[in-house]
Structure 1
Amino acid sequence: MRIVICDDNPIERNNLLEVATHISKSEGYDAEFEVFENAKQMLFELEDKLELIDVMLLDINMPGIDGMEAASKLRSRGYIGEIVFITVSKEHMLMAFDVRAFNYIVKGETDSTKTVKIIKDVFEIASEKSKEYMLFTGIGEYRNIAINDIKYFEVRGKIITVYYGSKSFEFISTIGKLENLLFTKGFLRVHRSFLVALQYIKTFAYDGITLLDHKEIPVGRKYYSGLKEAMKENAVG
């Protein structure tokens, strides 16, 4: 599990790292930490490896690019991991949901017991998500792929292509079989040729979807109502 901590205050940054490290060890997680003192540096360093990050602990009140703006940029670039905000005020709580934050810690208000529980909970969620894999059989090759990394499937004839991270893999199956296997994992049929992970959808309309990586996928007329209902169920507010 890879965890990022970003806070401009060195004392609070080190305290957070100490608490998170202690929790990861006591809970038995194999964790790696990356620590940043500002959001600009963090965004630059993580640009090409967002799919590898499981949890981000972000301070909101930082000079330059604040934590909320950084989180928005991360989501628009395709980051789907967990975010916990560190803030000085509850006024940011509603905005935190706009970027699908897991939770938030209020400096000077959230006590140590609650802080530990929040970090424990987010580590547990991230760990469980990273454990789910599917094995695909291609021509002379097997590929074990984390379900959480899969963006969508496309079928052409008898060949299905799974797109995950920045990679793809071809195998033989049916889109109907995949639909049944992955329905409870947050995947939805949106077209006779496409099965999409809801968490990667940025925008949608009656005739198409735009994913977080800006890939555009068509929506079949008979699938639109199901897509609209599924997106409503996952909406905040």
Structure 2
Amino acid sequence: MKKIKLVVCDDELVQRKFLGVLLERFFKERMIPVEISYYGSGEEFLENKEQDLNLTDLFLLDIFMPNLNGIELAREIKERNAPGKIIFITGGNDYVTEAFELKAFSYIQKPVEYEKFSKVLSHALETVEKVKYMEVMVDREPERIYLEDVEYVETMGRRLLIHLHEDDMETYMSMKAFMDQHGKDDFLQISRYIAVSKDCIQRITGRSLFLQDGTELSISEKYLATARKEHTEYLHTKKMASV
């Protein structure tokens, strides 16, 4: 599993340390790599330019904080289109309706008990795992690219050109590294230089592969038999899943 990136925002130092102990226990027991950032206020979190909202998987937010409370902070996170799950931690029921309206993943009451805490985190991580993504450097900045948005990738020298539904991106990565890390289940390699999202393939005719948008790509002779076989198996699996 990829390293989980998690943010804890609570104005009470004692509570932040307590949550840190619970989180360390949880991730250590499951041997899941994690990177945790701690903040004492919503303002401190939003002012930290190094904290990329789009790369954060889970937000643990205290609701009752001075100035910018947890609900207001969550609204700001949502307005910035951050995909991470929000878990509120609070000592009261005052904001249950607001938490529901914000589509928060969960709402944990203080004092936080480890059993309930671990169950909520486990369910949250299940949803995170279902969303497949890759983290790459683009123009020296980290970017999270969701694999469902990728149509195909191709190598150009040492660069990997990532063709998305709406845009293209470039990063430094070999085709082997891409397939080993991200492509084995969801991508079909059709040449030494090109791998295509199985979900974006419309059909294979001869040595031509057509994407859903009509783009035609050429399959090299070396990969032709495997490409046809994997495409047929994928269509069969998809058909069975829809029954």
TM-score, length of structure 2 as denominator length:
0.57
Residue of 121, 124, 130 corresponding to 2:126: 124
Equivalence for 2:65:
62
Q: Does structure 1 conserve the Cα–Cα contact (< 8 Å) formed by 2:22 and 2:114?
A: no
Would the alpha carbon gap of residues 20 and 143 (structure 1) be closer, same or farther in structure 2, given more than 3 Å must change?
A: farther
Checking the alignment, whether the CA contact within 8 Å between 2:154 and 2:162 is kept in structure 1 is no
Q: CA deviation at 1:38?
A: 0.7
Which residue does 1:153 correspond to in 2? Answer: 165
- Aligned-partner SS, 1:142: strand
Q: CA deviation at 1:57?
A: 0.4
Could you say what secondary structure the match of 1:122 adopts? helix
Identity of aligned residues (%): 26
Task: List per-residue Cα deviations over 1:143-166 (Å, max 9, x = no partner).
Answer: 579xxxxxx723xxxxxx35xxxx
Preserved CA contact (<8 Å) 1:20 1:119: no
2: CA distance, partners of 1:48 / 1:27? 25
* Partner Cα distance (1:23, 1:173) in 2: 37
Please give the secondary structure, in 1, of the residue aligned with 2:95.
Answer: helix
Corresponding position: 1:178 with 2:200: yes
In structure 2, how many angstroms separate the alpha carbons of the residues matched to 1:88 and 1:74? 22
Contact kept, 8 Å, 1:2 with 1:31, in 2: the verdict is yes
Provide, for residues 203-232 of structure 1, a one-character-per-residue CA deviation record: whole Å limited to 9, x for no partner. Answer: xxxxxxxxxxxxxxxxxxxxxxxxxxxxxx
Other structure's SS at 1:121 match: helix
Structure with the larger RCO, 1 or 2 (CA within 8 Å, 6+ apart): 1
Q: CA RMSD in A?
A: 3.5
Partners in 1 of 2:25 and 2:60 — Cα distance?
A: 15
| Total equivalences in the alignment | 164
Distance 1:57 1:131 in 2: 21
Query: 1:87, 1:78 → 2: CA distance?
Result: 24
1:87 equivalent in alignment to 2:90:
yes
1:63 aligned partner, one-letter code: P
Q: Is the 8 A contact 2:45 2:51 kept in 1?
A: no
Runs of 4+ in 1 over 4 A off after TM superposition: 130-133
User: SS where residue 91 of structure 1 aligns?
Assistant: coil
The 8 Å contact of residues 3 and 34 in structure 1, kept in 2 or not, is answered as yes
TM-score by length of 1: 0.58
Once the two structures are superposed, residues 47-87 of structure 1 have per-residue CA deviations (whole angstroms, 9 ceiling, x without a partner) of 76111111110000000100000010011112111110011
